[in-house]
Amino acid sequence: MQILAINPGSTSTKIAVFQDETCLWKEVINHPDQDIRAFAKIGDQYSYRMDTILNTLQEKGCQLEQFSAIVGRGGLLKPLSGGTYLVDEYLVQESHNAPGGEHASNLGAIIAYHLAQRVNIPAYIVDPVAVDEMEPVARLSGHPELPRISLSHALNMKAVARKVARDLGKTYQEVNLVIAHLGGGISVAPHRRGKMIDVNNANNEGPFSPERCGTLPSAQLVKLCYSGKYTEKEMLTGILKEGGMYAYLGTKDAREAERRMNEGDEQARLVLEAMCYQVAKEIGAMSTVLCGEVDRIVLTGGLAHSAFITGEITRRVSFIAPVALIPGEEEMESLALGALRVLRQEEQALIYR
């Protein structure tokens, strides 16, 4: 069976064609700034991006008729359980309405659906950003008007969870893991028997990352908000896009920060060590959610390519459980395998309501 996987990003769209588990080819379609800025809403870009995908398929000698299914990345929907969801008109409308906010990932379902409709095949999304399997006790933040919300790198984390479970000779439903996705945002989540029962929303809390602040001192943050120095938009930009390592060092590139550290920049060393220190603390905290019964700690995402970063984290947490390294992201593979499990009837497609 051949599957077309689609992963829209803010300025590019990744596509890949799989034959069963094997990736035949991948392509990154870059979208010029002026093209993206021409659309008032992200959801309005679907026709433009769909055309670029069709052009790329034509260049590769592919036709929609050869696919058994098309799968897209799921976006900021209402909270839902993990799994593979059939994309129907209702899910497409929800993706347009963007209940969780504007985000390029919302386009995944929309594009997959409209392409699949042309040749009468199913369209799916897999483990969207809005996967919410948190237990009730994990939702309380300390203030009833500020509930903790589950938004995470669920697609990659659940993919590596299944991979680590296979390596242990078990299924995802038979293991307990603490997984840290280390990227532009950092998500740390305990996975208990196939469910992600807690997670730090990387936009709101947890370790600081290359561009996000993570958890901040709340009283000081309130004072800063009312200081008159910043508008609401400037504060949000400072927290979500220009915080973390960038605020301290002026770069979002951890490789650049490491280069500076290796050349003797002590501030760069301090910031990198602090980021690793906070990740290790979050892993330790999430291990208590599993009552210390952890089969593996898993480090994944782009930053897991760094021997320094993984080494700093590992030396602090390896006493809890063995640490597995799965650097990079397996999002395209995760999408294709999620669709394949349904096509093979190993899982049942879920319906979003």
Q: List pLDDT tens digits, range 241-277.
A: 899 999 999 999 999 999 999 999 999 999 999 999 9
Strand order in the sheet with 123-126: 22-30, 12-19, 2-8, 69-73, 123-126, 84-86, 350-351
Q: Which residues of 131-169 are buried (b: 16+ CB within 10 A; e: fewer)?
A: bbbbeeeeeeeeeeeeebbbbbbbbbbbbbbbbbbeeee
Nearest to 85 by CA among 13, 17, 15, 155: 155
What class has domain 154-325? alpha beta
Q: What is the pLDDT of residues 97-132, one digit of tens each?
A: 888 888 889 999 999 999 999 999 999 999 998 899
| Confidence band, pLDDT 50/70/90 cuts, at residue 42 | confident
Q: How much of the chain exceeds pLDDT 90, in percent?
A: 86
> What Rg, from alpha-carbon coordinates, does the chain have?
20
Q: Phi and psi for 29 in degrees, rounded to 5?
A: -95, 110
Q: What are phi and psi of 266, to 5 degrees?
A: -70, -30
Residues 2-132+331-351, CATH architecture: 2-Layer Sandwich (3.30)
Over residues 303-320, the pLDDT tens digits come to 999 999 999 999 999 999
Say what percent of the chain tops pLDDT 70: 100
Q: Tell me the C-alpha distance between 97 and 77, whole Å.
A: 9
Residue 143 pLDDT: 96
Every domain range in the chain assigned CATH 3.30.420.40: 2-132+331-351, 154-325
Q: What is the mean pLDDT of the chain?
A: 95
**73-77, 136-140, 226-230: lowest mean pLDDT where?**
73-77
